[in-house]
Amino acid sequence: MVRGLVFLVFLVFSLYANNVDTKIESFLGKKEFYVQKNLIDILFEDKSSYLDDKANTDDVKILAKLKASGLLKLFYSNPVKMELSFVTNENSLIFMRVVNEALEAMGYSYFITKKVIQKDGKFEWDITLSTEHVVDPVLFARELDLRGCKIIGINKDGEYNWNYFIDSSKIKINALELEENTTIALKKPIKAYWINVENTTRVSIRSKLADRWHPSVVFYDKSLNIISYYKKDEVIEFVKLDVPKNARYLKIEDVYTLDNIKRGLSLYLYSRN
């Protein structure tokens, strides 16, 4: 019986080791993996600590260790065409925005959509970009985490293809969380203002006297579907609007250009409570 228990423990450990080693090899490439095998065995001595609570490899943790140890290649000598695939549960509109936000925060603003698929409760978005830098998976995971998303798996196919599997069940965009029942001065906008209005029943917005605001105010639900909007092709100084019941986000900008509100806006959110 003891011998059988020892064998079982050995078998489980071997499976852990094989799973983790297989992932490391895919991230580094076969040649680099075997060149660095002795170092890898030392760095990843406790293979079980690189598994999640479902015994799947914790790919972000593995990559973080490889990066910290200088084994993860993050730069190329010349620009390369990189392909990234993002797969999640069905949150297409907001998911694309959140991934875009995360990439922009890392300095990636220009890429081409290669494929978009929504089927059987899953959503996949594939993009290509030309870069000398690998999209750092550890930093990318951190940016997604700030927006309520968690990477649950990463596959690397070849040198330039990365596939991300992402849990977006708690997804949220990078919107301002503002105090309610008080006047808030919004600074000069670089982009449209995005504001969380989940607990707001009414909003009033005032432009500066020296500006010429042509209001564009849009309310979205939690999935970024448009609920209602208010737009005027004329200069308006003040508006007060009811917030739709299911609204989560408010987007404020000018119909023509943000230069028309370059001095910022004053905002007052009326609490639902």
Q: Hey, what CATH topology would domain 75-167 get?
A: Alpha-Beta Plaits (3.30.70)
Q: What is the CATH number of domain 183-271?
A: 2.60.120
Whole-model pTM? Answer: 0.84
Which token pair is 37?
Answer: 């095998």
- What confidence tens digit (pLDDT) does each residue in 159-216 have? 899 999 999 999 999 999 999 999 999 999 999 999 999 999 999 999 999 999 999 9
- What confidence tens digit (pLDDT) does each residue in 118-134 have? 988 899 999 999 999 99
Indicate the residue type of 58.
Answer: D
Return the domain boundaries, the chain: 2-68, 75-167, 183-271
In this predicted structure, the answer to whether residue 11 has a pLDDT above a threshold of 90 is no
Cα gap 83→129, rounded to integer Å: 7
Cβ proximity of 128 and 112 under 8 Å = yes
- What confidence tens digit (pLDDT) does each residue in 226-255 have? 999 999 999 999 999 999 999 999 999 999
